[in-house]
Amino acid sequence: PQSPMAGAHMQAGLLQASLAGQPQTDLSKGQPPPPVSKDELSMLACLHRLDTGLASRGLTIASALVLYDKDMERAVGLDQLVAACGQHSIPLSRPEIETLFARL
């Protein structure tokens, strides 16, 4: 099974292709993705900013959050995610981070 972040990463890639004027296809299935709602579009934009912000610093989500996972559970809470985004200068507001966190 695919992890939620892998799916989000694929959706962010599809958004990037869409913005670049390239055809959108779900390469794993060879089919176009389902329509995106207005709420999902804003979420995909947040995921895209998170992804590009981390990538510009040579980071993955795992490497950006590892220091905030104090109990070594491969999980962080909302406050740790907010702190990590601030530490790495990710261009997301607290409400956007809260929305992302709630959907994960």
Query: Greater confidence, 31 or 28?
Result: 31
Instruction: Specify the higher pLDDT residue, 29 or 69.
Output: 69
Of 38, 50, 64, 56, nearest to 13 by C-alpha is: 50
Q: Are 74 and 87 in contact (CB under 8 A)?
A: no
Token duo for residue 99: 């929305």
Residue 26 β-bridge partners: 31
Q: How far is CA 25 from the centre of its chain?
A: 19
Q: In 10 A of CB 35, how many CB atoms?
A: 6
For 8, which DSSP code? H
Of the listed ranges 30-34, 68-72, 100-104, the one predicted with least confidence: 30-34
Res 14: pLDDT: 46
